[in-house]
Structures are given as structure tokens and as C-alpha cells.
Amino acid sequence: MNEFAALMGSLKASIEIIKGLKSTYDAHTVSQALSEILERLIALQGAMLSLQEKHSLLIKEKDDLTKKLMELEEGKQVDQLYDLIEIIPGTFVYRFKVSNNSTQPLHYACANCRDDRTRYYKLQGVNTEIGMVYTCHKCNFQFNL
């Protein structure tokens, strides 16, 4: 706001100079006044460019914050689809809540990756001689059932 006030002050001063020109016909005085007006206009232009840069930065920050807010909202919606469960003592995973309107089958998601505030990474199960082994392909977390 200080810059805007300075811009207005500069503009008012330029107007006063122009009004003063009406009362004088001295070429030297007119030349000095025009020179002063040009200096003020250049300063005004610089201040306007500065304000425009600040405005652009604020718009970018707003867009970034809006994007982060949307990601958080999406994360909250996805969080409602999972329950954190303890598969074996000390080992936690997210279990998909299967419902009647769900198109996805029961599956597990990596708790380690979700704690890093990333998306849910589905654990891939492989049937072995010791039972099902589930692995997260992002962080290599494994557990057996």
C-alpha cells in the first residue's frame, strides 16, 4: 500500500507541475518541468512494474495453496476408504473397506508410505510355501500372512 500511496503522490505532483506550466511561458522553465514529469513517470512505471511482480507472486502462491488444499481434501476422502489395522503385533497396514457400492476388492495398502503423506500404495500379494507374502513396491515393506 505504501507503493500505491507513493504512486498517487507522484501523480499529484506531476499534475501540479502541469498546472504551473499554464502560468509561465518561459521555455527553460517548461523544459525543466517536462524533464521532471518524465522522471516522475519513469519512477511511476518502475513502481507499477514492482507491484505487478508482487501481484504475480501472490497469484502463484494462491494457486499453490489451492492445489495443496485440494490434495489434502482428496487425501481425506481416500482416508475414509481405509482402516488402519494391526496384522501381526507391531505390523500395521491399511485395509480397504469393502462396501456394496465399491468396485475394488479387499486389499491392503502400505502404512509406511501413507505416513509419508503419499498416496496409498497397494501391497502386492504372492502365494509362497510359507503363506501369502505382501510387498510394497515403493518402499519394499514386506509381511507374511
Q: Over the chain (145 residues), what is each successive 10-residue block's mean pLDDT?
A: 74 76 67 87 91 96 94 82 86 84 81 69 78 84 78
Indicate the SS3 state at residue 137.
coil
pLDDT of residue 80: 84
Locate 119 and state its grid cell. Answer: 498416496
C-alpha span between 58 and 52 (Å, rounded): 10
Indicate the SS3 state at residue 128.
strand
| Helical (H) or strand (E) element with 103 | none
C-alpha span between 41 and 19 (Å, rounded): 16
- Can you spell out the DSSP letters for 64-97? HHHHHHHHHHHHHHHHTTEEEEEEETTEEEEEE-
Q: Would you list the domain boundaries of the chain?
A: 2-74, 81-144
